[in-house]
């Protein structure tokens, strides 16, 4: 039963994690604040990596949030945000000199474009081929037609 107590503690903790007031950081390069909980709803604002948001409520895998630096409200998918500590946003160097979450994110990033450039020069690696692969990224509206063909149910399910 001690185990059960731990389960309940974890359950309580995890429910707490989704309650309003939690501060999270945008964990994707191009975060999208949407008008409704779904990938096909309209985009109200674009957010940057590290932007702080505060949770208001949750519907399935979507969070209704307030953006810290603009005060805007909207919906963001749970996979587009992370706890600041999971983004290596804390650290001695970061904490003392930075003020906003975004600045902290930029300070504590470790492997980044600068390191990639350095590595590219050492190893004579061609990252332009990787750029070409990444150009294959499609915007959601471009996927919508395909989605409606293959997965109408998925769309109805509130993607």
Partner 1 sequence: MRRLTRAAGVLGLAMVLGSCAHLGSAVGELADAGARAGLPTAGAGAVVDGVRAVGAVADAATSPFSPEQEYYIGRSVSATILREYELYDDPAAVAYLNRLGQSLALASQRPTLYHGYTVAILDTDEINAFATPGGHIFISRGMLRLTEAEGEVAAVLAHEIGHIVERHGLGSIRTARVIDAIQDGTFQALDRVSDSQMREVTRLFGDTTADVVDTLVTRGYSGASEREADSIAVQILMDVGYDPFALVRLLERMDAAQQAEYEGSRERRGFSRTHPRPQSRIRDLQRSDLRNVEPGSRIDEEAARRRYEAAMRSIHTP
Q: Does 57 bind partner 1 (CB under 8 A)?
A: no
Residues of span 104-123 touching partner 1 by CB under 8 A: 105-116, 118-120, 122-123
Q: Does 137 bind partner 1 (CB under 8 A)?
A: yes
Counting residues that bind partner 1 (by CB under 8 A) gives 78
Long-range contacts of 42-46 (CB under 8 A, 24+ apart): 44/72, 44/74, 45/70, 45/72, 45/74
Q: Which of 78, 50, 84 is nearest to 63 (CA)?
A: 78
8-state DSSP, 136: T
Q: Residue 71 or 124: which CB sits closer to partner 1?
A: 124
Q: How far is the CB of 44 from partner 1 (least distance, A)?
A: 16
Q: Which two tokens stand for residue 69?
A: 């630096």
Query: Is the distance from CB of 39 to CB of 140 less than 8 angstroms?
Result: yes
Residue of the chain from 20, 70, 83, 100 that contacts partner 1 (CB under 8 A): 83
Q: How far is the CB of 41 from partner 1 (least distance, A)?
A: 13
Q: Does 43 bind partner 1 (CB under 8 A)?
A: no
> Cα 144 to the chain's mean position, in Å?
21
Residue of the chain from 16, 46, 57, 100 that contacts partner 1 (CB under 8 A): 16
């Amino acid at each position: 039963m001690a185990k059960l107590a731990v389960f309940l503690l974890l359950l309580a903790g995890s429910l707490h994690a989704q309650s309003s007031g939690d501060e999270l950081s945008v964990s994707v390069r191009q975060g999208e604040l949407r008008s409704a909980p779904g990938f096909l709803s309209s985009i109200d604002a674009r957010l940057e990596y590290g932007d702080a948001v505060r949770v208001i409520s949750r519907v399935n895998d979507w969070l209704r949030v307030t953006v810290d630096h603009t005060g805007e409200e909207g919906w963001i998918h749970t996979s587009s945000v992370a706890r600041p500590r999971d983004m290596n946003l804390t650290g001695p160097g970061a904490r003392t000199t930075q003020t906003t979450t975004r600045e902290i994110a930029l300070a504590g990033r470790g492997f980044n474009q600068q390191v990639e450039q350095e590595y590219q020069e050492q190893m004579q690696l061609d990252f332009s081929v990787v750029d070409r692969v990444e150009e294959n990224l499609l915007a959601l509206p471009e996927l919508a037609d395909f989605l409606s063909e293959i997965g109408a149910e998925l769309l109805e399910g509130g993607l």
